[in-house]
Amino acid sequence: MRLLLIRHGQTPDNARGALGAVVPGPGLTELGREQAAAVPDALADEAIDAIYVSTMVRTHETAAPLAEALGITPTELPGLREISAGSLEQRSDPDAIRLYMGTIFSWADDLAARIPDAESGHEFFARYDDAIAEIASRHDGTVAVFSHGAAIRAWASRASRNVGVEFSRVNHLENTAVVILEGSPDDGWVAEQWADAPLGGAQLEDATAPDPTGEAR
């Protein structure tokens, strides 16, 4: 199958550089809505069979224009939500960002590492793997999955045979950028694309936003 992992559009937390992973979380900024509106045209050449979203408002709002254009009702899966920030929630200071993203990158070697008062690598990958496996059990073709910056970077770099955590560390993932994987849970995944710009083009980037879960580290 062809898996389009699409990061949600910009939120107020992204714009001010805060860690925000509490469900349901905020909706999109004005720019975020513009980014979402550009998704259907950007994906016009993809034969999308289904759309999936997390339990967070921002993925629902980002998926809405594509869902309307295709006449597809998105399916919500809790396992697609962002990696919990625990006691780091809403912090934007460098120490908090380093601890959050550093723990996530450390899962390449130590799945037992835990974000303070939040998830370990074992727990995150178990629930995200389960969500992707459920999607794959229902579809063989192309599926659009609207998820989150840290979650996509962590899962895609671990699941893909041809990219790894160091690739994820140095390659950012802008709001509405897409990571495209081909394969299946049984056969494994190959990354066909890791975009460094929003689906609507670089003109939809916010160069001033700190955006901690999408930036290279």
Catalytic machinery residues = 8, 82
Cα–Cα dist 168/164, whole Å: 6
Cα dihedral: 38, 39, 42, 46 (round 10): -160
Check residue 45 and report its DSSP letter: T
φ/ψ (deg, to 5) at 48:
-80, 125
**57-70 vs 30-42: helix crossing angle, rounded to 10:** 40
Write out the H or E segment, with its range, that includes residue 167.
helix 165-170
Cα dihedral: 168, 143, 14, 208 (round 10): 70
Cα–Cα dist 136/57, whole Å: 23
The partner residues of 179 in beta bridges, in order of sequence, read 5, 194
From residue 75, how far is each of 63, 109, 127, 207, 210 by CA, in Å?
10, 33, 16, 32, 30
Cα–Cα dist 93/75, whole Å: 35
